[in-house]
C-alpha cells in the first residue's frame, strides 16, 4: 500500500541546499534503558544522562524548527500504524526478524501510539517461564538505543530513499521502520533503493552516515566498520541499472578508533565551496584509498585512485576550501575534537551550519574562514536571523549528546531541500 501526495515528497540534490523538511527523533526512555554492561552491545562507549541530553537536543530541535518543517519519526510511525494492513505487516515482519513471534498478537492488540512507543522503547521481558526467569535479560523486544541518530537508517535522494542495511543487528529494526514509513505514510509513498529484500550475504552493509550527496550526480560514500565494499557494490549496481551518469567517490576509513565509524565523522560539506575535514584521514598521506567510479548510461566508464577526497571532488567540478577540525596547530587537539564529532556539521542552508559548542578550536577555525558564531539559544529566541549572515555556525551545547558518538548531522535525516542555482 503506497499513498502519494501529488508533490515531490523527497528531494535531496545537494548536502548544503536550503533545508525544507527533516526527520528527527527526540531521545526518550530507550536511551536510559541500558547499563554500563549493555552499553557496548548497544554501540555506545558510555551511558547518557537523558535529562541533560534532552535539554541539549531541544536546542537542535528548536533551531531546526526555525528554518524547516520538522517531522518526528515517532509521529510518522504512529500514523502508519493507524492503517490496519500496515500495522499487521510491520509488526509481523519485526517479530519474525527478531525471533519474537510469540509477541505478535499482543503487539498488534496495542493502540497505534502505544505500539509506536513499544517498537522504539522496547518491551520488558515477562518472566513467565523458567528460561526467562533465569535470564539476565530485561527485554523481550530490545529498545532502539540509537534511533535518535536518524541519519543512519535511510538516505533521501532525488525522489527516492535508500534504505540502509545496518552493520549491527541492534539497529536493523530502525531500517525496517523507515522503509515502512517511506512506503506507506501519506507524506511520502516513494520508491526505495532497498538491500533488505535481496538475498545478500552478511557482508553487505551500508549506513546513512557514510553517504553524502555532493550533487545529484556525485555521491560520496565511506567504507569502513559500518559500510562494506559489498554494500557500495550494491549501490553501484543499482545506479548502473538507472542508466544515468553518476560519479561515486569512495573513501576508505580507519577501523579504529570507533570515532571513525562513518564518513561524516571525518568530512562534511559546509557550503558549495567549503568543507570540514579531519586532516589526518582526508588530507595527509596515508594508506587509505580514495576510489573514483564514473558511471555512464549503465556502464562503468572508469575506475581510478585519486590523491584524496578533495582532489576527486575537484575533478568533478568542486573547488572546496578545507576547514580543519580542531585547527591546524596541534594534532592532539584535532584528535580530541574529532572524537566529539568535531567534523559532524549539518547544513541548514549554504554556509549556514549547526554543530557542537564544545569544539572550540574547530569553531575558531570556522571563524577564520568567515563564519559568525551564533548560540542556538539566541537563534531560538530570535535574537539573530540566519538570513542576515552570509556564513554562520549555530552552536548547541553538547556535553552529554556528544558522548553518544554523533553530532548534528548524525541526528538529522533531511528529506527535502530547496535546490538553488549552484545545484
Tens digits of residue pLDDT in 196-244: 877 666 789 999 999 999 999 999 999 999 999 999 999 999 999 988 8
Among 31-35, 124-128, 187-191, 209-213, which stretch is predicted with the lowest mean pLDDT? 31-35
Q: Is the dihedral of CA 267, 357, 385, 322 positive or negative?
A: negative
Are the C-beta atoms of residues 220 and 263 closer than 8 Å to each other? yes
What's residue 18's pLDDT?
97
What's the rounded Cα separation, in Å, for the pair 364 and 318?
24
| Region 311-315 average pLDDT | 98
Q: Where are the domains of the chain?
A: 18-417
- Could you give the CA distance from residue 67 to residue 315 in angstroms, rounded to a whole number? 33
Per-residue pLDDT at 41? 52
- Percentage of the chain exceeding pLDDT 90: 78
Pairing type for strands 246-252 and 218-223 reads: parallel
pLDDT range class, residue 127, cuts 50, 70, 90: confident
Res 258: pLDDT: 78
Lowest mean pLDDT among 40-49, 78-87, 175-184, 241-250: 40-49
Cell of 283: 588530507
| pTM more than 0.95 | no
Mean residue pLDDT of the chain comes to 91
Beta carbons of 293 and 247 less than 8 angstroms apart: yes
Q: Is the peptide bond before 72 cis (omega within 30 degrees of 0)?
A: no
* Nearest one of 253, 274, 174 to 211, comparing CA atoms: 253
Nearest to 273 by CA among 321, 309, 213, 317: 321
What's the rounded mean pLDDT across residues 380-386? 90
- The pLDDT of 157-161, averaged and rounded, is 90
- Residue ranges of the alpha helices (H) in 308-407? 309-314, 331-339, 360-368, 376-380
pLDDT band at 137 (very low <50, low <70, confident <90, very high): confident
- The four Cα atoms 329, 333, 334, 338 give a dihedral, to 10 degrees, of -160
Contact 225, 167 (CB under 8 A): yes
Provide the pLDDT for residue 409: 98
Q: What is the mean pLDDT of residues 378-392?
A: 93
- 53-86 pLDDT, tens digit per residue, is 999 999 999 999 999 999 999 999 999 999 999 9
Distance between CA atoms of residues 267 and 210, nearest Å: 10
CB 316 within 8 Å of CB 358? no
Res 46: pLDDT = 66
Q: Binning pLDDT at 50, 70 and 90, where does residue 43 land?
A: very low
CA separation for the pair 401, 147 (Å, rounded) = 13
Q: How confident is the model at residue 126 (pLDDT cuts 50, 70, 90)?
A: confident
Q: Where does 18-417 sit in CATH, by number? A: 3.75.10.10
Amino acid at each position: 500500500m503506497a499513498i502519494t501526495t501529488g508533490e515531490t515528497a523527497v528531494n535531496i540534490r545537494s548536502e548544503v541546499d536550503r533545508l525544507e523538511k527533516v526527520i528527527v527523533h527526540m531521545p526518550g526512555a530507550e536511551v536510559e534503558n541500558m547499563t554500563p554492561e549493555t552499553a557496548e552491545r548497544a554501540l555506545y562507549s558510555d551511558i547518557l544522562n537523558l535529562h541533560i541530553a534532552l535539554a541539549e537536543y531541544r536546542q537542535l530541535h528548536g533551531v531546526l524548527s526555525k528554518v524547516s518543517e520538522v517531522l518526528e519519526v515517532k509521529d510518522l510511525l504512529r500514523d502508519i500504524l493507524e492503517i490496519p494492513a500496515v500495522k499487521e505487516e510491520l509488526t509481523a515482519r519485526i517479530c519474525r526478524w527478531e525471533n519474537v513471534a510469540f509477541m505478535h498478537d499482543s503487539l498488534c492488540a496495542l493502540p497505534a501510539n502505544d505500539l509506536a512507543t513499544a517498537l522504539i522503547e522496547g518491551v520488558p521481558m515477562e518472566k513467565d517461564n523458567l528460561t526467562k526467569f533465569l535470564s539476565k535479560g530485561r527485554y523481550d523486544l530490545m529498545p532502539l538505543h540509537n534511533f535518535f541518530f536518524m541519519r543512519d537508517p535511510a538516505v533521501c535522494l532525488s525522489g527516492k530513499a535508500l534504505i540502509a542495511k545496518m552493520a549491527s543487528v541492534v539497529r536493523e529494526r530502525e531500517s525496517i521502520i523507515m522503509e515502512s514509513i517511506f512506503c506507506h505514510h501519506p507524506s511520502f509513498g516513494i520508491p526505495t533503493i532497498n538491500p533488505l529484500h535481496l538475498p545478500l550475504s552478511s557482508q553487505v552493509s551500508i549506513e546513512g552516515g557514510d553517504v553524502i550527496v555532493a550533487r545529484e550526480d556525485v555521491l560520496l560514500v565511506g567504507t569502513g566498520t559500518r559500510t562494506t565494499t559489498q554494500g557500495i557494490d550494491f549501490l553501484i549496481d543499482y545506479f548502473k541499472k538507472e542508466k544515468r551518469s553518476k560519479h561515486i567517490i569512495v573513501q576508505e576509513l580507519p577501523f579504529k578508533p570507533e570515532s571513525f565509524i562513518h564518513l561524516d565523522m571525518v568530512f562534511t560539506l559546509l557550503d558549495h565551496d567549503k568543507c570540514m575535514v579531519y586532516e589526518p584521514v582526508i588530507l595527509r598521506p596515508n594508506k587509505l584509498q580514495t576510489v573514483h567510479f564514473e558511471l555512464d548510461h549503465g556502464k562503468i566508464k572508469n575506475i581510478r585512485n585519486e590523491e584524496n577526497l578533495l582532489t576527486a571532488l575537484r575533478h568533478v567540478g568542486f573547488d572546496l576550501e578545507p576547514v580543519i577540525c580542531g585547527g591546524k596547530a596541534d594534532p592532539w587537539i584535532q584528535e580530541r575534537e574529532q572524537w566529539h564529532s568535531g567534523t559532524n556539521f549539518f547544513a541548514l542552508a549554504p554556509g549556514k551550519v549547526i554543530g557542537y559548542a564544545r569544539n572550540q578550536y574547530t569553531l575558531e577555525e570556522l571563524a577564520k574562514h568567515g563564519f559568525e558564531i551564533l548560540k542556538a539559544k539566541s537563534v531560538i529566541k530570535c535574537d539573530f536571523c540566519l538570513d542576515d549572515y552570509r556564513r554562520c555556525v549555530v552552536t548547541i551545547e553538547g556535553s552529554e549528546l556528544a558522548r553518544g558518538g554523533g553530532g548534528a548531522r548524525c541526528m538529522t535525516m533531511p528529506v527535502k531541500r530547496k535546490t538553488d542555482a549552484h545545484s
